[in-house]
Amino acid sequence: MKLMIFGATGGTGARLLDQVLEAGHDVTILARNPTSISHENVTVLQGNVLNPGPWQSLVAGQDAVLSCLGSTDRKHATTVYSEGTANILAAIRSGAVRRLICLSSAGLDIAPETPLAQRLVTRLVIQRIYRHGYADMAKMENLVTASDTDWTVIRPPMLTNGPLRAEYRTAANAHLTNPKSISRADLAHYILNHINDQDTWKNIVEISQ
């Protein structure tokens, strides 16, 4: 497949890039600093997803677009999720590609059956710490779910640097029971192995170990 990855220099994106290349796919990525990419057999475009530009013309030729966009800045508001995804969607609309997978967070929505103590920690601590990112993720989800694409939004819980085990639980348009964490490697594995899974299209998927 011809795949374009956004956020390939981040924690999950880097692991996804490794697995995509190992599987033998044709990969294009966008990077503000192309020298940060040491992989061979990768088409690297210099650019910023927040700035529309020539990179958008290459989106049209892909079989699927995989977005692992993220921000590590907890103190300030961000638009990397919403504006970045809006630019990706604009590029998708100009071509034939329809498949879009993007990452969000399980922290956006607290399951009704969540134990009280965990609910309080999520609402009073986690959602406050990540409030800027979560607010922009919510905007991103609204853009994606309203789009005329074959989209999947994936909501992982806490991410770890654990090994690839290819073992995880998922729930489509529903809450998982007791989600705790998932390794970035396993999250990348799920993304790669569900690109052509039509059962995940137009679904918000929760995932956890």
What is the predicted pLDDT for the residue at 35?
84
Instruction: Supply the Cα-derived Rg of the chain in whole angstroms.
Output: 16
What is the predicted pLDDT for the residue at 7?
96
d(CA 155, CA 103): 6
* Low-confidence winner among 27-36, 65-74, 114-123 (lowest mean pLDDT): 114-123
- Assess if CATH 3.40.50.720 describes domain 2-208: yes
Q: Residue 37 pLDDT more than 90?
A: no
Nearest residue to 69 (alpha-carbon basis) of 134, 130, 10: 10
Contact 86, 4 (CB under 8 A): no
The per-residue pLDDT for range 98-148, each reduced to its tens digit, is: 999 999 999 998 777 777 777 677 777 777 878 899 999 999 999 999 999
Per-residue tokens: 203 = 């679904």
The per-residue pLDDT for range 177-209, each reduced to its tens digit, is: 888 899 999 999 999 999 999 999 999 999 999
* Low-confidence winner among 35-44, 64-73, 131-140 (lowest mean pLDDT): 35-44
Strand pairing category for 203-208 and 169-172: antiparallel
In sequence order, the 6+-apart residues with CB closer than 8 A to the CB of 96 are: 60
d(CA 209, CA 204): 17
